[in-house]
Amino acid sequence: MLPDLEQLILRQRQFFAGGKTKDLAFRKQQLQKLGAALSKHADLIMSALEQDLGKSKFEAYSSEILFCLQELKYTLKHLQNWAKPQPVSVGSPLLLFSRAYVQPEPLGVALIIAPWNYPVQLAILPLIGAIAAGNCAILKPSEIAGQTSGAIATLIADCFEPQYVAVVEGGIETSQALLTQQFDHIFFTGGTEVGRIVMAAAAKHLTPVTLELGGKSPCIVAADSAIAYTAEKIVWGKFFNAGQTCIAPDYVLVARSRKAELIAAMNRAITQFYSAQPQTSPDYGRIVSFKHFARLSGLIEACRTAPCEIIIGGETDALSRYIAPTLVDCQDLPTAANLKIMESEIFGPILPVVTYEELDQAIAYINQQPKPLALYLFSDDQPTHTQVLSQTSSGSSCINNLILQSGVPDLPFGGVGASGMGSYHGKYSFRCFSHYKSVLKSPSWLKLRWLYPPYRADLVAWIQRLISV
């Protein structure tokens, strides 16, 4: 049974109108309460994540709870400065003795729709920004990670009254009902197709949106890369959370001269990280649902026929929703471009490996695809860095590393084009949920009579002399 959403939103609007959320001391207090509750409910959260995604305690704590606690600490440290009016130059002698500034102010009531792959982090991080900016918020966790959705509901209920921050649980019909309501901002993390639905629903109310989507994030391995280092980074970044990471490398483009060496090194890294039997490893996760398991299994089956070749992994177990870390040789770029595995984001532990002859060829292929959420490059050659960064477009780029760009609070996290719009993390989360109001103050004693009719005949010429380019 759906809750009375209209009444819930009305109560939040009334609470917001009372002005309490605009008080900076109140915001800090609520952020501190959220941090305390995250620590208090850590065991509940980690248990839920293990049930939903097979996450080890380390993965669950480091990528979900610790990530949020670090964001809270950073936000509390800087919130005072972020919330200050920001003086700007008036820029014109016509405004002599006036002053101008930009005043951040909260938007009102925000809707945050979170996904299932990092269900705590991707619900709480935007909530931190919404609270810091002075808003009320409604969280909609993903029903696909059902145990974690319940844990988030418990966490939030322990912190906040529903007229301030509330969790609304449920399936697709709940999301649809929420999207018929009017909010002051909608923050959505998920797939591109659902992102279009969210944006269309928001357009009916002219509600601004932040869309954190995905796409096929490429990983270029240049001819000069340090292969042992590169292989370990790729294996870690790809198979963390069983590949269910929006900024995981979706495919590898490797210089032909280094392909065999890279595959052998990745094979060694998989065994080193997860043993020769990854299914028995306590550190290797599971696919979130049978629906997603079936989709990924279908991709593996499609890779068992030429020109593809499964060179590592490929084993599956439906009962435990296990899919082995899998490497697929997709031959060269002209061949790979037409393969099913290269059509859309994989979002699982299957990694296509594709060779290129010249770097220009790899760049051209990337630029023919929708703009990705992330782009990775392994190379120690500065001209190669410059070429790739200047000739491609992506939400973020990372050189000689993977995924960790998302952990730098001063870097905005977001997509471009089909991979999303808007950004957050750190001060960008505060900005995301704020309106930056322009303010101009002029003294009432300054009477510029020449501005008013009747105008002097020489006024235009005088102004032209006063303001010259």
Catalytic positions, written as ranges: 212, 246
381: exposed, middle or buried (Cβ count in 10 Å: 0-12, 13-18, 19+): middle
- Give the three-class secondary structure for 451: helix
Pairing of strands 322-323, 326-332: unpaired
| Residue in the structure block whose two tokens are 């052998």 | 264
CA Rg value for the chain: 26
Residue 147 CA: distances (Å) to CA of 58, 245, 322: 18, 19, 19
Are 58 and 122 a contacting pair, CB within 8 Å? no
* Helix segments in 332-435, DSSP class H: 333-336, 359-368, 382-391, 427-432
- Token pair, residue 158, equals 């322990």
Cα–Cα distance for residue pair 245/349, rounded to 1 Å: 10
| Three-state SS sequence of 132-155 | HHCCEEEEECCCCCHHHHHHHHHH
Cα–Cα distance for residue pair 451/92, rounded to 1 Å: 14
| Residue in the structure block whose two tokens are 């002209």 | 334
64 DSSP 8-state letter: I
Cα–Cα distance for residue pair 371/375, rounded to 1 Å: 9
Name the nearest CA neighbour of 127 among 115, 143, 111, 145.
111
| Residue in the structure block whose two tokens are 């060496």 | 261
Are 364 and 313 a contacting pair, CB within 8 Å? no
